[in-house]
Structure 1
Amino acid sequence: MTALNPLQYYRDNLQHRLFPYLGTAPPQMGEYIAEQRGIGEGLSNENIREKLDFIEHLHAIGVSKYVDLPQLVVVGDQSCGKSSVLQAITRLPFPVDDRMCTRFPTEVSLQKAAGAPSISAVVKKANGTLVQLTISQPTVFSTDSPEFGTIFRDMLLHAQHEILGDAGLEYLSEDTLQITVRGEEEPNLTIVDIPGLVSATHSAFQTANSLVNKYIKNPRSIVLMVAHPGDPGTQDVFQKLKNIPDRQNRVIGVITKCDRKQEGAEDWILDTIRNEQKPENQFWLANGWFGLRNRLPSEVRVNNHERDRNEAHFFQQGVWPTLAQPSRLGIRYLTAALTKMLNDHITRSIPALIPDINQKLAECELRLARLGTPRGTNREQRDCMVEIATKFSQLSLDALDGSYHRVPDHQSAKMRMNVQECLEKFKSDMHQEYCERIPNIEDDLLTSLNQTSWRTSLLGSDDDPGEDLENYSPLKEIFAIMRKNRGTELTDETNSNVMKILFRKKSEKWSQMASILLKTVVVKIKICMKILVEECTFEAELQGTINRWLSSCLDTAENLAQEELDLLSSEICFVWTLSHKNYLHEVGNAYTYCINAMARDLRHLSNDGNSSVSRWEKEVKAWLANNKDVDAVLNTFARLDAYYRISQARFIDNIGIQVVERHLLGPSSPLKMFRPMQINKMADEEPEKLKSIAGEREDKEIERKEINDEKRSLEEALETAQTFGYLGRAAVGH
C-alpha cells in the first residue's frame, strides 16, 4: 500500500466523494460486453448527464467537504440486507452473508470514462490520509466473472485489514473505503453504504449513530432507507426516519428479504409498499417504498441476470400479486425510481450550489484575513515586521514629540504628555518632601524679651535631644546633631560632618521617590506600546508576541535606567556645588529670614508698634555675636536649606534627563528601537529571534493551509461551474 497526497490524488483521479453506483453487466468469457442497466437507461438524456457530470466533478475536487452536495446514502439496521441492495444496484459482488456486516463506510463511485474499464480503491482515513489499495485488473471485466469476484473479495479483505486491523467484531470505524469503477457505459453516480444502526446497548452504538447522522444531515442527500420484514417497532431505522428533515421528499424506502418474512408480517409490509397517503401512515414517502428479494448466501455464484429473474419470478407468486403494484417490486423498478429521484433532486439542488460556494469563498477570505499575511519564512516574517515597524515608528515618534494628530485618540497613547505629568508629579512630591524635612522657621522662635531665655527658646534645654515631635524645630534638631558630632573644632566652629549628616538624613527618601517615578513611567510606556502595536496590526497573536518582545526590551531599558538612578542616588551624599553665587545668595536669604523672624517676635513681645523691625534685628545680631554656638546653628540651618533646594533641583533635572529621557525614552527605549532597520538587522543576524516574534504557531500554519486548500477547491468549483455553463444562469434547473 502507498500513502498518497490527498489533494494530488483528487486532482489526478477526479473521483473523491460522489461514489456512483451501478456495476457492469455480465459479459461472456473472453470479451467485455456491457449490459444495459436499468438505472443507466434513465441517464441517457444529455441534459441529465451534464448535471451528473457537474456534481461528480465537484465531488472529485473535494467540494463536498465544504458544501453539501447531492449523494445517495444507504441507511438501515445491522443485518437488514443493505449489502445485498448495494450489490443489486451496483452489480458489484459485495458479500451477502447475513453474518457479514458493514463495519466502515463504503462509497462506490461509477464514472463514465473513455478507454478500457477499470476498478480502483482507496482507504480514506478519518484524519484525511489516503492509502491506495493495490488491485489487479481482471483480464475479463465482468462483475459476474469468478476472476472479478476473487479480485473484488481480495480488495475488500485488504481494505478491512487496513481499516480494522485486529479490532473486535463489534468495532466500527469512521475510515472510508472508496471504490471507483470507470468505463464507457458507467453513469456518473455515487452510492454510500454506511454501517448499520445498532441498539443503544451495543458497544458501537455511538459510532454507528454518529456515522449515520453525518451522512443524512446533508440536506442534499437522498436516503435509501432499508428495512427488513421484522417488526418495524424493533427497527432503529424507522425511528431514524422520523428525525430526517424533509424525509417525505428525500427518502426512498425499500424492504429487503421479502422471501423471508414471518407469518402474518405481510400486512404491514404490503401496507407500507402501497404507501397510501393517510394520516395514520407514519411511513408515507413521496418517492414510495419498494420490495426486494435478496440474493441468498447459497446463490453467491448466481449471476446478476439470474438474480433478477429469480426475483421477478418470486414476486409473481403468493400474496404479492394481490398488491396490484408490480412497479413497486424488484430491483428493476427500484433503480428506475432512484434514477428519476436522483435526477430531479440534482436538478433542484444545482441552482443553490453556486451561492453556497460563493458564501463559503467569502468566509475563507474572511478567515484568511483574520489570520493575517503568511509568516512561515524568514522573508515573510521580515516583511511583516518591517511593515509594522514602519507604522509603529511613525506613531511612537509622534507620541514622544507631542504631535498627536496621527496617534490613536487615547490618553495613554500621548506619551510626552504622560511623561511630563509624571515628572511634574515627581517635582511636586519632592517639594512636599522639602517642606516636611525643612519646615519654615515659625514666628514664635523667641517667647520673651529677656535674653537669658533666648537660647533655650531657640535650641531647647540641655536635656532636649531635638527629636521631640511635639516641640520639634529644625534648629533644635541641628543643635542636637552638632552636639552629638563634636570634634576638635573650636567653640565658634561646626564639625564639617554635621552638614553631611543633616543632608543625608533629609534626602534619604529621594532615591525611593525616584524609583517610584521610574516604575510609573515604565507602566505608561508599556500601555502606550500596547496601544500603538494594536494600531499597527489587528492580529491578536502577533500583538502578543510583539508586546512580549518590546516588554523584554523595556525591561533592559528599565535596568539601565535603574543603574543610572542608583549612580545618581549614590552621589546625593556629596555636599558639593560649583554654583557658589546662587548658593551663597540662598544662604544669605535663609540666614536673614531667621534673624528677621526673631526680630518680629521681639517687636510683638514689646507691644511697641512704633518700633521698627530693624531695631530689633540689631539687638538679635548683637546677642548672636556673643553666642557663637547659636549663631552656628542658624548658619547651619541656612546652609542646609540653601543647599537642599539647589541639590534637589539638580537631582530632579538629572532624574528627568539622565534616567527618563536617556534610558526610558532614548535610543535604547523600545519606543525608539522598533524600527525597520532594527528588524532587517534581526532578520540577518538573529533569524530565530525574529521567528519567535513574527513566526506563526504550527496550528495556525495548519489552519491557513486548510483554508487555502478549501479556497482552491471552491475556486476550482466555480471554474467547473463556468465550464458547464452554470455561472450566471438565472435558473439552472430549467
Structure 2
Amino acid sequence: MTPLDAAATMEVSINSQILNELNTKEGRELHETINSLRAYGVDRIVNLPQIIVVGDQSSGKSSVLEALCHVRFPVKDGLCTRFATELVLRPAVATSIKATLRYFDQTKAPLVIDTSGFDENDLPRIIEKAKTHMGSSITNKGFTRDVLRLEIQGPKMYPLTVIDLPGFFYVETETQSWAGKTVVDQLVSDYMSKKESIILSVIAGNQPLANHDALSKVKAVDPSRERTIGVITKPDLMVAKSETETEYARLVKKNEGANKLRLGWHVVRNSADAEVDLDDRDAAELDFFKVGVWESVPDQSLGISSLRKKLSKVLYDHIRKSLPQVIANVEKNLNKRRDELARLGPPRSDTDERRSFLIKIASQFESLAKDGVDGRYDDPFFGDLEHENHKFRAQLRNFNRAFQHILWTKGSSKMIIPDGESAKAAEEPPEYLQRFLQTYPYDFPDPIVTTESAVHIDLQRKASINQGKEFPGISNKDLAIKLFQEQAKPWKEISRFHLEKVTFVAKAFVDAVFEHILGPPDTNRTTEVILSTCVDPWFTEQEKLVQEKLEELLQPYHDGYTVALDAEFHAALSRKSKEKIADRVYKILVERQSRGIVVDRATFTNAILEDKQLDGGEFGTQTAVDMMLAYYETARGTFAVNVINLAIERCLISGIPKIFTATQVSQMSKERLDELAAETDDIQNRRELLACDIKVLESAFSLCQRYRPRAVTSKHLS
C-alpha cells in the first residue's frame, strides 16, 4: 500500500483545542521530546510514557477514548475489540494520516494501510480494513497480538498516545473462545506491566463494584496503585439513590478503602444514541452531573473535560518522572547493540572477508589465552582484583596447592603412629585454600590409622610366607616395595580426579575467551562452530594424552621399578632411623627416671640393646617399614611435581593458546572458512536490524542529552 504521509491537503475533522487540554504549557517541551522519540521509532526498543485504556468488555472503554480525543471509535459493532489500537497524535505543519499494521510475527514487515479520504467518522472503516490484512492471525472467535497504529498529524495538534485494548471477558460465546481469552489476558497484561504506562481502568457503573475482576488484574501489575486512574462509566444507567450509586459516589468522593488509587477516581457519562455530535455529548454530560448524588462530588472528578485536565497534569508528571529512566534505557540499549554489532564483526560475504575476520578472532584469542596462561591480567576480560573466574593461572596454582594438600593428607592408605599415641589432626590449609576446596571439593577418605606394633605383627606374618634366600634378620627384597605400593594406592584416583577438574576449568576458560570475543554460542553461530569443531575436539584429544601421561607416571610405582636417588633416599632413611632412635632413647630415659633409677652408661646401653622396638626382628621388618616410609616421602614429592609439569603443563596448558591461531586460519580451505565464518540469513538480518536500531537510538540519545543530569566537576575555583 502507498503511505499517505504525502497527502498534505487532507482534511481531518479533529478539534485541536480539545487535544490542547491534555498539555500544560510548561509540559509542552517534554511532550514534544517524547513525541520525537516516537517519531524516531524508539518505542519499538524502549518503553515510552503512554496512556492505555483497559477494562471488561462493554465497560465503555472505546466511548471514553472517543470522548477524550473527539475521534469517532466503533463503539457499537466491536470492530476494534480483536486487537490493540494505538492512536498517536502529533504536531506537524501539514495534515496527514498514516495507518500501520504491526504484526506480532516480527519476520513480517509492517504494513501501511491506504487511508484515502479519511475523516473522523471513518475510523471503523480503517479498522475493518486492518482486520482483513491480519489474515490467518485472527478469526471470528479469536484475537490477535497484531497492533494497528494510527498516526494523525496536523497544525496546532499536540502529542498524545492512547491505546485501546481488547476487553477482558469470562464466558465463551459464539464469537469468542477460551484460546482468545488467553491472548487477550496476555496482551493486556504486557501493556499494563510496563511501568511507563498510565492505566485508565474503566469499569461500568451499572454493575456492583465487587463484580469487576478487571480491578484485581490491574492491582497485580500496579500493586501500590501509583499509576492507575479509575474511570467509572454509565452512571446514567445506575438506579438513582441505589446502594450501587451511593457506593460509587462515595468511592469517587473519598477515594479510600481497598480500591484507593493514588491518582483517584473519575466518572464520565457515555454518549447516548441520539447524540451524534460529540460536542452535544459533552454538554449533556455537564447537565447530568448537576443533579442527584453526583452534585456533591467535586467537579474535578466528574466529566470528560475534567478528565482531560487531570490527564494533562498526570501525563506531564509521569513523563517528567519517567524521562531519566527512558534516557538510561536508551543509553543501555544503545551500548548493548553496539557491543553485539562489534562482536558480529564486519560483513563476511566472501572468502577473503571471512579469512580476515577469523584471523582477527584468532589473534585476539591467542593474546588473551596466553595472558591467562602466563598470569597477566591487564585486559578488561580478566576483571578487577575481586574477579577470579577468568584468572586462569591463579586457578591453576590454587589447584596445584589443593592437589599437594590432598596428596599429603589423604594420599596414603595408612597412617602409622607409635604405640600409645593418638593420631595428630592434619594441618588445616590457609583460609583461601579452604574456600577453594569448598568450591572444588576433593572427596577422598582419610588414611586408616594403625599402630607400629600392628604393622609389625602384620608384616612379620607376610614376611614369613614370602621368605627367599636372604640372610636371617633381613626381609625379602620385594617386601618394602610391595608395602610402598599398598601405601601409595590412593595416588591414582586423587591424580585422575585432579586432572579432570583442571581440564574442566581449562575448557571453561577457553569457552569464556571465545564468548568474550564473539558472544555466546546461542546468539553467535561462529562461536558455536568454533567451540564444537575446534575447542571440543582439541580437549578430547588432550584429555586422552593427559590420562596416558598419568598412567606413564604411575607405571614405575605400579611395576615396582621405582628407582630413587641414592643420596636423597639414604638421607631420608637416615633421618627416619635417627628420629626413631631419638624417640626411643627419650622414652627410655623418662621411664627409668620415673622409677628413680640412676641411668649410667652401662645400664642405658643395655636398655637400648634389649629394646624390642629397635630390634628389626627375625625378618628385619623394622628396616622394611623405615625404607618404605623414607621412599614414600621422596617419591610423593617427585610424583606430584611430575603430574603438574609433565601431565598438566606439558600435555594441556602449554597448548591452549595454539587451539585457534592465525596461522591455522591462513591455511584453511574455502569450505572450512565458510563453515566457521559464513553468515546465515538470520545473522545478516540481525546485523541490519542492529544497525537500524543503533541509528535510531543515537538520534534519540542526542535528543535527550540536554535532559541528562550533569555531574559537577568542581564547585569553586580558587
TM range (shorter): 0.5 to 0.7
Correspondences of 1:457-472 after superposition (within 5 Å): none
Contact persistence 2:233–2:267 (CA under 8 A): yes
Alpha carbons of structure 1 residues 288 and 65: separation in structure 2 relative to 1, 3 Å:
same
Equivalent of 2:707 in 708, 712, 726 = 726
Equivalent of 1:224 in 200, 204, 221 = 200
Distance 2:546 2:56 in 1: 72
Alpha carbons of structure 1 residues 702 and 232: separation in structure 2 relative to 1, 3 Å:
farther
The one-letter code of the counterpart of 1:726 is Y
**What is the DSSP-based 3-state SS (H/G/I as helix, E as strand, rest coil) of the residue aligned with 2:53?**
strand
Distance 1:392 1:369 in 2: 26
TM-superposed CA distance for 1:179, in Å, is: 2.5
Distance 1:277 1:674 in 2: 74
Corresponding position: 1:671 with 2:653: yes
Count of aligned positions: 563
Contact persistence 2:373–2:393 (CA under 8 A): no
Residues 119-169 of structure 1: CA distance to partner in whole angstroms, max 9, x if unpaired?
2212241x655542342241x342336xx764443223334x3542x3x62
Alpha carbons of structure 1 residues 479 and 328: separation in structure 2 relative to 1, 3 Å:
closer
Alpha carbons of structure 1 residues 663 and 370: separation in structure 2 relative to 1, 3 Å:
farther
Q: Which residue of 1 aligns with 2:365?
A: 385
**What is the DSSP-based 3-state SS (H/G/I as helix, E as strand, rest coil) of the residue aligned with 1:198?**
coil
**What is the DSSP-based 3-state SS (H/G/I as helix, E as strand, rest coil) of the residue aligned with 1:674?**
helix
Distance 1:572 1:309 in 2: 108
Equivalent of 1:71 in 50, 64, 73 = 50
Q: Which residue of 1 aligns with 2:714?
A: none
Distance 1:44 1:85 in 2: 18
Contact persistence 1:124–1:175 (CA under 8 A): yes
Distance 1:63 1:407 in 2: 42
Distance 1:236 1:368 in 2: 40
Residues 469-519 of structure 1: CA distance to partner in whole angstroms, max 9, x if unpaired?
89869698555899xxxxxxxxxxxxxxxxxxx878986788888886455
Distance 1:117 1:534 in 2: 57
Q: Which residue of 2 aligns with 1:345?
A: 314
Alpha carbons of structure 1 residues 238 and 320: separation in structure 2 relative to 1, 3 Å:
farther
Alpha carbons of structure 1 residues 550 and 349: separation in structure 2 relative to 1, 3 Å:
same
Corresponding position: 1:311 with 2:311: no
Corresponding position: 1:142 with 2:119: yes
Contact persistence 2:90–2:159 (CA under 8 A): yes
Alpha carbons of structure 1 residues 223 and 416: separation in structure 2 relative to 1, 3 Å:
closer
Corresponding position: 1:177 with 2:148: yes
Distance 1:63 1:424 in 2: 63
Q: Which residue of 2 aligns with 1:96?
A: 75
Contact persistence 1:392–1:532 (CA under 8 A): no
**What is the DSSP-based 3-state SS (H/G/I as helix, E as strand, rest coil) of the residue aligned with 2:306?**
helix
Distance 1:321 1:713 in 2: 53
TM-superposed CA distance for 1:196, in Å, is: 1.4
Q: Which residue of 2 aligns with 1:253?
A: 231
Distance 1:293 1:473 in 2: 106
Contact persistence 1:393–1:671 (CA under 8 A): yes
Q: Which residue of 1 aligns with 2:542?
A: 553
Distance 2:208 2:700 in 1: 42
Contact persistence 1:81–1:294 (CA under 8 A): no
Q: Which residue of 1 aligns with 2:596?
A: none
Distance 2:12 2:649 in 1: 88
Contact persistence 1:226–1:256 (CA under 8 A): no
Distance 2:95 2:150 in 1: 17
Residues 372-416 of structure 1: CA distance to partner in whole angstroms, max 9, x if unpaired?
9948874565355323321233149xxxxxxxxx99778953749
Contact persistence 1:272–1:284 (CA under 8 A): no
Alpha carbons of structure 1 residues 162 and 36: separation in structure 2 relative to 1, 3 Å:
same
TM-superposed CA distance for 1:52, in Å, is: 1.4
Distance 2:635 2:288 in 1: 112
TM-score, length of structure 1 as denominator length: 0.55
Alpha carbons of structure 1 residues 529 and 61: separation in structure 2 relative to 1, 3 Å:
farther
> Alignment identity in percent?
18
Alpha carbons of structure 1 residues 63 and 671: separation in structure 2 relative to 1, 3 Å:
same
Distance 2:111 2:338 in 1: 39
Corresponding position: 1:53 with 2:32: yes
Contact persistence 1:143–1:149 (CA under 8 A): no
Alpha carbons of structure 1 residues 481 and 113: separation in structure 2 relative to 1, 3 Å:
same
Correspondences of 1:405-484 after superposition (within 5 Å): 413=398, 415=400, 477-478=466-467
Equivalent of 1:292 in 245, 265, 269 = 269
Distance 1:280 1:422 in 2: 72
Alpha carbons of structure 1 residues 653 and 286: separation in structure 2 relative to 1, 3 Å:
closer
TM-superposed CA distance for 1:348, in Å, is: 2.0
Alpha carbons of structure 1 residues 182 and 309: separation in structure 2 relative to 1, 3 Å:
closer
**What is the DSSP-based 3-state SS (H/G/I as helix, E as strand, rest coil) of the residue aligned with 1:292?**
coil
Residues 310-348 of structure 1: CA distance to partner in whole angstroms, max 9, x if unpaired?
5357558889666669997999x62x4344333322432
TM-superposed CA distance for 1:192, in Å, is: 0.9
Contact persistence 2:360–2:662 (CA under 8 A): no
Distance 1:104 1:13 in 2: 23
Q: Which moved more, 1:534-543 or 1:350-359?
A: 534-543
The one-letter code of the counterpart of 1:156 is K
The one-letter code of the counterpart of 1:311 is R
The one-letter code of the counterpart of 2:120 is T
Alpha carbons of structure 1 residues 671 and 250: separation in structure 2 relative to 1, 3 Å:
closer
The one-letter code of the counterpart of 2:708 is L
Contact persistence 1:101–1:195 (CA under 8 A): yes
Contact persistence 2:15–2:70 (CA under 8 A): no
Distance 2:673 2:488 in 1: 35
Q: Which moved more, 1:321-330 or 1:189-198?
A: 321-330
Correspondences of 1:201-280 after superposition (within 5 Å): 203=178, 208-218=184-194, 220-233=196-209, 234-237=211-214, 250-251=228-229, 253-256=231-234, 258=236, 261=237, 264=240, 272=248, 277-278=253-254
Alpha carbons of structure 1 residues 408 and 338: separation in structure 2 relative to 1, 3 Å:
same
Q: Which residue of 1 aligns with 2:90?
A: 111
Corresponding position: 1:36 with 2:21: no
Correspondences of 1:684-723 after superposition (within 5 Å): 717-722=700-705
Contact persistence 2:334–2:698 (CA under 8 A): no
**What is the DSSP-based 3-state SS (H/G/I as helix, E as strand, rest coil) of the residue aligned with 2:277?**
helix
Larger Rg belongs to = 1
Contact persistence 1:216–1:223 (CA under 8 A): yes
Contact persistence 1:382–1:680 (CA under 8 A): yes
Q: Which residue of 2 aligns with 1:133?
A: 111
TM-superposed CA distance for 1:191, in Å, is: 0.7
Distance 1:341 1:208 in 2: 28
Unaligned runs of 5+ in 2: 346-356, 377-390, 417-456, 522-530, 567-601, 603-617, 712-718
**What is the DSSP-based 3-state SS (H/G/I as helix, E as strand, rest coil) of the residue aligned with 1:102?**
helix
Distance 1:254 1:279 in 2: 13
**What is the DSSP-based 3-state SS (H/G/I as helix, E as strand, rest coil) of the residue aligned with 1:227?**
strand
TM-superposed CA distance for 1:193, in Å, is: 1.0
Residues 268-307 of structure 1: CA distance to partner in whole angstroms, max 9, x if unpaired?
55985798634789789866634334364xx8xx9xxx42
Distance 1:568 1:95 in 2: 91
Distance 2:219 2:641 in 1: 80
Distance 1:479 1:567 in 2: 23
The one-letter code of the counterpart of 1:673 is G
Alignment RMSD: 6.8
Unaligned runs of 5+ in 1: 3-11, 15-23, 397-405, 433-467, 483-501, 580-608, 610-633
